[in-house]
Structure 1
Amino acid sequence: MEIGKKKLIIVGLACLLLVSFPTSVYALDADDLTDLVGYTIIASSYIPGSFRGARRGKVVQLANDMVFEFREYKYSYSYRPTVIIFAFPYSESIILYKLIIDDEIYDVVRLR
């Protein structure tokens, strides 16, 4: 078999493998990010162990010792997910917080 034909077969097989086994991708789209207008990223951390989503009143402690209480319900599951913490200075005494965990944005209250 010619070298050119071998290369063509290898490239074809590689393309077939890429199409046959897509990888999972998590992504927020622009509509999701409109919820974060005015917010600033203040920290990045992770949740030790497994995360089974949020329910109103559920408390989560991050690896950096920040503690938040969820204000809504959303189900998801992940192990040791990365968390991005956002803050918005609503007034001199009130700061609003949001977390991104996996591909979801959560409304939270900071407890510590």
Structure 2
Amino acid sequence: MKENLNELFFGNEAAHKLDQFKAELLNIEQKNSKYFENRVSKISFDKNDRLHNHYLIITNSDGVTFGFTKDNDLDINVQTDCNNLFNEIFNSQKRPNRSNMN
């Protein structure tokens, strides 16, 4: 049985969000596949450049942090898509039901 270490360390909700975030990052890469195919990879064993070569996900007791590497040179639209995705998954606040506020 394969254990999800994120689930073990951070709980079900955080592990689910991390899995969702990583899956959606792959979708961003696929959406921009022509862009990445036309770039030389910073990693010698990758045929083409990959989105994962440009970001860091840090998990600790304070939560999850997402950012780009210091030498990141990705198109601003790709960066914006990634940042928006992170905020959508990790920083969205549940809005109270207005009918329950009265």
TM-score, normalising length: structure 2: 0.24
**Which has the bigger relative contact order, CA under 8 A and spacing at least 6?**
1
Look at both structures and tell me which one has the larger radius of gyration over its CA atoms.
1
As a proportion of its length, which structure holds more helix? 2
When normalised by structure 1's length, the TM-score is 0.23
Task: Determine which structure has the larger strand proportion and give its number.
Answer: 1
